């Protein structure tokens, strides 16, 4: 992707996040000089994000917290909503949530790309922010089993391509685990050059990619991360 296209995609994402943040500020609980919560549409590294982090500005009942989080989650374009104290909005029909989770992942990767050093599983600068955004997308997907697949083009030997794609998929999985995603919810697999992207010649470098797919959901027992704890 050329520099101009990357700039345009980044600008578009920034505009989307800014628009959502403006809508959130106009919600009843947020109007006036004393908003109920601090809403940050950014990752911990400051990268714009559609997955807001909520911090209460005063004592709120669980009902108030739920209403505020739901109101923000219902804004068009918002992904998963979570509180900085560890609880998150993660309920709903499992099939719908799976589809929403996968669409959110695709949305992140449509704007930014995980990129690696040539013939290596080492990330190039800029990929850390993409991983932050992907982790923020996955956190509300409670019970989802996510397949991470690595792919290459046909340059190089099939055996080396297979090993490289596996290493890259596993590297992405490790980075997501380091960001708080449960290891048991991730399945990393490398396919080498055996599955070129639809419409691309197998030798096209654009086949060097990481893909995500929600393959199933499992019923989960409530844990401290998705059940409000005593405060």
Q: Region 147-172: what's the mean pLDDT? A: 94
92 neighbors 74 (Cβ within 8 angstroms): no
Q: How far is 139 from 136, CA to CA, in rounded Å? A: 5
Domain boundary at 83, 105, 130, which?
A: 83
170-210: pLDDT as tens digits = 999 999 999 988 898 899 999 999 999 888 899 998 888 89
What CATH number corresponds to the domain at position 111?
Answer: 3.30.1330.60
| Residue 58 domain flag | yes
- The count of other CB atoms within 10 Å of the CB of residue 154 is 16
94-111 and 127-138 helices, crossing angle to 10° = 170
Tokens representing 59 are: 């004592």
* SS3 call for 37: strand
Q: Region 130-144: what's the mean pLDDT? A: 83
| Alpha-carbon radius of gyration of the chain | 19
Taking alpha carbons only, the member of 6, 22, 29 closest to residue 130 is 6
Residue 151 has pLDDT above 90, yes or no: yes
Is the full-model pTM beyond 0.75?
no
100-123: pLDDT as tens digits = 677 778 778 777 788 888 889 999
Looking at the structure, do residues 123 and 26 belong to the same domain, yes or no?
no
């Amino acid at each position: 992707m050329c520099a101009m296209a990357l700039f345009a995609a980044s600008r578009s994402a920034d505009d989307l996040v800014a628009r959502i943040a403006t809508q959130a500020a106009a919600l009843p609980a947020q109007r006036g000089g004393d908003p109920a919560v601090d809403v940050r549409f950014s990752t911990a590294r400051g990268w714009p994000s559609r997955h807001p982090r909520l911090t209460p500005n005063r004592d709120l009942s669980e009902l108030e917290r739920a209403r505020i989080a739901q109101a923000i989650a219902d804004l068009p374009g918002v992904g998963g909503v979570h509180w900085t104290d560890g609880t998150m909005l993660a309920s709903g029909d499992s099939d719908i949530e799976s589809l929403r989770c996968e669409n959110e992942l695709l949305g992140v990767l449509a704007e930014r790309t995980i990129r690696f050093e040539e013939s290596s599983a080492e990330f190039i600068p800029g990929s850390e922010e993409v991983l932050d955004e992907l982790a923020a997308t996955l956190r509300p997907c409670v019970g989802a089993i996510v397949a991470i697949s690595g792919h290459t083009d046909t340059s190089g030997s099939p055996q080396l391509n297979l090993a490289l794609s596996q290493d890259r998929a596993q590297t992405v999985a490790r980075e997501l685990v380091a960001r708080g995603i449960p290891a048991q919810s991730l399945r990393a697999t490398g396919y080498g050059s055996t599955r070129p992207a639809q419409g691309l010649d197998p030798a096209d470098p654009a086949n060097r990619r990481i893909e995500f797919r929600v393959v199933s959901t499992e019923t989960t027992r409530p844990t401290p991360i998705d059940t409000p704890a005593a405060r």
